[in-house]
Copies of this chain bind each other. A is one copy, B any other.
Amino acid sequence: VIRKNVREIQLSIRKISEKASEKEDCVRLDIGQPSFDTPQHVKEAARNFLDEKQGYTSTTGIQKLREKIAEEESMKSGVDVRPEEVMVTTGGMEAIFALFSSRLDEDDTLLVNDPSWGPYRLISAVNGNGVEQTQYFHNGELTEDVKEKAEKADMIAINSPSNPEGRVLSRDESRAIAELAEDKNCFLMTDEVYWRLTFDEEHQSPAAFNDNSALIGSVSKNHAMTGWRIGWIVDDSENIKEYAKVSRAMTAAPNKIGQLAAFEALDNSFHVGKMRDEYRKRRDYVVEQMKELGWGFTDPEGAIYAFPEVGKDSWEFAMEMIDEGVAVVPGEPFGSESDRSVRIAYGAAEMEELEKGFERLKKAV
């Protein structure tokens, strides 16, 4: 018998990708991954690293990759991170799953932003912990509701740059959410898998202002390496040992050649600037188009998404648009106030495709 909490999970967004893949000539703005392929120098390094014996690595990952990640995270957060405070995982997903599974019991509650990335709720459903959702910020200030809900929460998830809105926390906002978590004695998970992809302001890690937090990273989006499934979690070494027990049970260890490829990507990351410039161009174009369409939206300042309100039911809109030859993701699964919004993954389509997509959207609306 399948457990109730698994049985009841609906992977509703799949309806979109299934319908879109059946439609001939459909511009795919629904897929949450870069249009770029993994950089050539990373692939070339992987080809060479294949000379090594492809056996198990330790559960926490290859030492030189842990060192490289520690270096990057120290630089990013301004807090000294040591290699033993890093565990490499099978994508950011495994890192988040291991964290929830290590810390959140059935009676515990995770607080997530409204709107936020679906898998926080998916992982919670599998793990069996509760989830509360509320808008964290309004005009740069914490909302009253987040302060109230944090009182009862056991963990707060923050994601900047964010999926689906492409929102980037300011330094003040980062500090505010980090301090709220500390005040309310909540553990803080700061998911920074898009941190390299900011277009206006620099990324500021909330982890810099909070000692009771874990940071999630990944090469998937920042380095166009989604297929390699390499992410990580950063926390005190004692906590890492606990997460490693769960990770040991989940996957034994991350893929070795993926770890070596990730090392090369972090060691020689000159490719990131070019990708970011291209995403920025697309972002500028998308903002201009959304304005022309008269859609309201939160400024997309990072990641690879925009999340406009389209003025009608998000599922209806998304299904109709596939018939018009452009796929976007309905906002409804992302949050309680998002049932008239859609997510546009401009990172997934090259400029020409993106233009074709917006021509179709404009014609249809």
Contacts and interface: CB of A to CB of B under 8 A. Distances in A.
A113 to B, nearest CB: 19
A226 B54 contact: yes
B53 A249 contact: no
A46 B52 CA distance: 13
A37 B50 contact: no
Given A33-B56, A119-B249, A101 B227 contact: no
Contacts of A11: 245, 248
B53 A50 contact: no
Interface in A33-53: 33-34, 37-38, 43, 46-47, 50, 53
A102 B6 contact: yes
B239 A2 contact: yes
Secondary structure call for the A interface: helix
Copy number of this protein in the oligomer?
2
Contacts of A245: 6, 9, 11, 122, 126
Interface-centre pick from A34, A46, A101, A252 (highest chain B CB count, 10 A): A252
B9 A37 contact: no
Interface in A1-40: 1-3, 6-7, 9, 11, 33-34, 37-38
A312 interface: no
A229 interface: yes
Interface-centre pick from A37, A228, A254, A257 (highest chain B CB count, 10 A): A257
B90 A251 contact: yes
Interface string A163-198: 000000000000000000000000000000000000
A217 interface: no
A242 B3 CA distance: 9
Contact of A256 (B97, B119, B228): B228
User: Which 6 pairs between the two chains have the least Cβ-Cβ distance?
Assistant: A227-B256, A54-B227, A255-B255, A38-B54, A126-B249, A37-B53
Interface of A: 1-3, 6-7, 9, 11, 33-34, 37-38, 43, 46-47, 50, 53-57, 90-91, 93-94, 97, 101-105, 119, 122-123, 125-126, 225-229, 239, 242, 245-246, 248-258
